[in-house]
Structure 1
Amino acid sequence: MYHRLSSILFPIMSLLFIGATYWGYQEHQEKNSILIKAENQYQRAFHDLTYHVEQLHKQLGNTLAVNSTSQSYHRKGLVNVWRLTSQAQNEINQLPLTLLPFNEAGDFLSRIANFSYKTAVRDLSKQPLTPDEFKTMKTLYASSEEISKSLAGMQKDVLANHLRWMDVEIALASEKSNNDNVIIDGFKSVDKKVSEYPEINWGPSVSSMYQKRTINMLSGKLVTAEEVKKLAAKFTDAKNAEIRVVENAKGTEYASFSATVNEGNKKKLQMDFTQKGGKLIWFMNPRDIGEKKVDLAKAQANAESFLDKHGFSDMKAVSYDMFKNMGAFTYVSVQSGVLIYPDKLTVKVALDDGETVGLQANDYVYEHHKRNLPSPIISKPDARKALNPEMKVQTEQLALILNELGEEVLCYEYTGKINGSLYRVYINSETGVEESIEEMTPNDTKVASDK
């Protein structure tokens, strides 16, 4: 009996063993294939990064070498600097550096990219490079040489010792100390050097991009946690609800409060308030949203009723997006008939019953103030001349926007159709040049149309 049983089971077990071995071999081969592809990608990104930083250094030198009055070459050179820096940033993002301190170097490249772009896009024949900007470029030229040499040294070691990036990724993921790892030590060294560079004059347009919003930018007195509880109760009409308040970044210029309102069986409502002035900057009702039943017009009416109720007056919808049965309306403030785009906020409405379930008002809270608006210099007929003749204009109004230099400029805003698509075009009311253009959706047109 045992002989018969073994004669049956042995072939079956043999087949299972062979199958398991083959499956394991296939899994091993697939894993190796994935590892090889990842390693090749890392190696390519690193060598491309080394090359582009070297080219960045050379391009800065070429731009500085020409005559100081060669505006056309300065523009060309700065555009190339921006392109090379953008490529280098992209290659950094392809490397496993999320756990490795490389923030200083990444931020440095970002500032170079913004400096070169914002300088290149202006009319250099009217606003040539200033002595301070030439000084900044000389500093960047010297700094990029140092970074380039460090990366080139790392590249030489990587090639000579056949170092693998997968080892770096594994080491970082396992949080092990690798004092003798050439790649890790090399990037740490570069980041440390960049952090020790003296302060660079990037100019106001670039510096403003990295200016962090603090409570010092707001008006009003500092509020307490108890006062925030009252504000949260008033905002949610939940006076008897359990409200928990937590202070964020206590004792710093970024201090704020987070409030959670627990209304029994209902979902917890969450919101953030500024410490200075107690202004609401964020609200969310994270409930499940059912099937869509509310149309666009009803959702917009509810969003505007919500804004009026909570003191956001003189607002106009400019765009609309929908995601998972939730509609998001973007509003800007209106002053003397002018759309103020820096004063922007977003209202989210559940499309199952029309309830407002979210508010993002950070931009509005920090940027909203009464402005001394200039009068247009260019007439409406002259501004229209800057438009494509084939554009069928639907609306025209004044709008204050941020240009590519981060400056507020008064523009004529035109909406219209061309090549089968809807667009907003902004014409500078002082110079008559195009400041910006953006494509619209049919729903944008519906929510932005005057009622």
Structure 2
Amino acid sequence: MYRRLSSILFPIMTVLFIGAAYWGYQEQQEKNAVLIKAENQYQRAFHDLTNHVEQLHQQLGNTLAVNSTSQAFHRKGLVNVWRLTSQAQNEINQLPVSMLPFNEAEDFLSRIANFAYKTSVRDLTKQPLSPDEFKTLKTLYTNSQEISKDLSKMQKDVLNNRLRWMDAEIAAAKNASDPNIIIDGFRSVDKKVSEYPEINWGPSVSSMYQKRTIKMLGGNMVTAEEIKKEAAKFTDVPNADIRVVENAKGTEYASFSATVKEGKDSTLQMDFTEKGGQLLYFLNSRDIGEAKVTFEEAKASADSFLKKHGFKDMKAISYDKYENTGAFTYVGTQNGVLIYPDKLTLKVALDKGQTVGLQANDYVYQHHTRKIPSPTITKAEARKTLNPEMKVQTEQMAIIFNDLGKEALCYEYTGNMNGSIYRVYINAETGTEESIEEMSHADSKAASDK
């Protein structure tokens, strides 16, 4: 009996064992293939990064080497600098930089890219490089040489010692104290960059990295108790349980967060500025049911919410629907001119048509009464710059941020072309195209509603 049972089970167990071993072998092979692929990607990205930083240094030198009046070559050189820094940034993103100390160097490359782009897009024949900008280019040339040399040394060490990025990634994840050529090399480069003297990037680039602080706001400093009253007034919930917390106390970024309990199933969250007590953010975290309300009803709810809470002269410019919510983006208006910097977004629950969210950071920090200049060119002149095939639906004046980060008065045209809807912005002073963007039908509908 035992022999018969063994003669049956033994072959079965043998087959199962062989199958399990083969499955394990296949799994190991697939795992190794994934690791090899990741390692190859890391190696390629690092070597490409080293190469492009070296080319960046050379291109900065070429740009400085020509005559100071060679605007055409300056433009070409700056475009190449922007291209190389953009490629370098892309390669950094392919490395496990979340675990590597390279934040300062990455930010430095980002600033070089923006400096080169914003300088090259302007008309250099009318506004050539200034002495300060030449000084900045010379500084970047020197700094990029140092970074290039350090990366090249790392590259030599990686190749000579056959170092693996996967080992460096594991070491970084474990926060190991043991020396690692790759991690230590990146840390050394990052430390050098952090110690560079302050560079004059110019107002257009500096404004991109300018952090919003309470110094930018008007009004008096408010207390937690005053914020509590504002939260109660905003939510219109009598005898509500309101908790207020101060964020970044004593700094230029101080703000207040208020949490309001509205029944068992809903919590209202709000952020206010400490200076002026202005509302930055609002969210009703209730569960949202199946969508039942129409676009028109949602839009009416958003309009009513803004009016009720003191956001005056706002106009919807776009609409996005996600699951059971709709998001309307509004901009301010002044004397019939759209003010795009004064932007905020509302979130409407489509089950009951209730406004359940507000994001107003841009509006709070940018909103002020502007002195709007008179257009230099007429509507008719601006319209001539449009593609003749574009069927214009609407035209109005608007203020937008241009590529230099400055506010520009434009003629805004919306219309159909090639089966799509576009917004085109023509500078009201120069007649040049400042920007063009494709609109969805929902955006067009939101913008056309009064």
Normalised by the length of structure 1, the TM-score is: 0.98
Gaps of 5+ in 2: none
Alignment of 1:8 onto 2:3 = no
Indicate the residue corresponding to 1:84 in structure 2: 84
Q: After superposition, give the CA deviation of every residue in 1:351-403 in whole Å (9 maximum; x if it has no partner).
A: 12111111000000011111111111111111111111111111111101110
**In the alignment, is the contact (CA less than 8 A) between 1:248 and 1:255 conserved in 2?**
yes
Alignment partner, residue 93 of structure 1: 93
- CA deviation digits over 1:70-100, x for unaligned, max 9? 1111101100000000000000011001022
* 2:221 partner amino acid: L
What residue is the counterpart of 1:171 in the other structure? 171
Please state if 1:140 is matched with 2:140.
yes
Find the counterpart in structure 2 of residue 33 from structure 1: 33
* Counterpart check, 1:335 vs 2:334: yes
- Residue aligning to 1:55: 55
Alpha-carbon distance between aligned partners in 2 of 1:115 and 1:22, rounded to the nearest angstrom: 57
Match of 1:98, SS state, is helix
SS in 1 for 2:266: coil
Question: Aligned equivalents of 1:119 and 1:413: distance in 2?
Answer: 25
- 2:423 counterpart SS class: strand
Counterpart Cα distance in 2 of 1:409 and 1:345: 19
Which residue number in structure 1 is paired with residue 232 of structure 2? 233
**Aligned letter for 1:335?**
Q
Name the residue aligned to 2:360.
361
- TM-score of the superposition, structure 2-length normalised? 0.98
Alignment of 1:330-409 (within 5 A): 330-409=329-408
**Take 1:174 and 1:262, find their aligned partners in 2: how far apart are those partners?**
41
Give deviations 1:4-34, integer Å, cap 9, x for gaps: 3333332232222222211111111111000
Q: Is the 8 A contact 2:336 2:397 kept in 1?
A: yes
The residue identity in structure 1 corresponding to 2:107 is D
Contact 1:338–1:400 under 8 Å retained in 2:
yes
Secondary structure of the residue that 1:289 maps to in structure 2?
coil
Q: For the Cα contact (< 8 Å) 1:268–1:285, is it kept in 2?
A: yes
Cα distance, 1:288 vs structure 2: 2.6
2:9 is aligned with what amino acid? L
Native 8 Å contact 1:294 1:351 kept in 2: yes
Matches within 5 A, 1:152-167: 152-167=152-167
Matched-pair contact (CA < 8 Å) for 1:241–1:264? no
C-alpha separation in 2, matches of 1:403 and 1:420: 27
Output aligned runs, 1:51-450, within 5 Å: 51-178=51-178, 180-450=179-449
Looking at structure 2, the residues matched to 383 and 210 of structure 1 have their Cα atoms a distance apart, in angstroms, of: 33
Structure 2: distance between partners of 1:3 and 1:285: 73
Write the letter of the residue equivalent to 1:46.
Answer: F
How far, CA to CA, are the matches of 1:243 and 1:100 in structure 2?
A: 42
CA displacement, residues 136-158 of structure 1 (integer Å, 9 cap, x when unaligned): 00100010010000000000000
After superposition, what is the alpha-carbon deviation per residue over 1:196-228, rounded to whole angstroms, capped at 9, x for unaligned?
111111001000110000011111111222222
Q: Which residue of 2 aligns with 1:42?
A: 42
Q: In 2, are the aligned partners of 1:321 and 1:329 still within 8 Å (CA)?
A: yes
Offset of 1:450 from its aligned partner? Answer: 4.7
What RMSD in Å do the two structures reach over aligned CA positions?
1.1
Q: Give the Cα separation in 2 of the matches to 1:261 and 1:203.
A: 44
The count of aligned residue pairs is 450
Residue pair 1:284, 1:359 contacting (<8 A) in 2 also: yes
Distance in 2 (CA, whole Å) between partners of 1:440 and 1:9 is 69
AA aligned opposite 1:333: G
Report percent identity of matched pairs. 77
- Structure 1 counterpart SS, 2:97: coil
- Post-superposition offset of 1:189: 0.4
| Conserved? CA contact 2:101–2:183, under 8 Å | no
Moved more, 27-36 or 381-390: 381-390
Q: Which moved more, 1:203-212 or 1:17-26?
A: 17-26
* Cα contact 2:389–2:417 (8 A) shared by 1: yes
User: How far apart, in 1, do the equivalents of 2:332 and 2:321 lie?
Assistant: 22
| Deviation for aligned residue 1:266 | 2.3
CA contact (8 A) 1:78 1:119 kept: yes
In the alignment, the residues of structure 2 paired with residue 252 and residue 361 of structure 1 have an alpha-carbon distance, to the nearest angstrom, of: 21
Residue range with higher mean Cα deviation, 259-268 or 329-338: 259-268
The residue identity in structure 2 corresponding to 1:137 is L
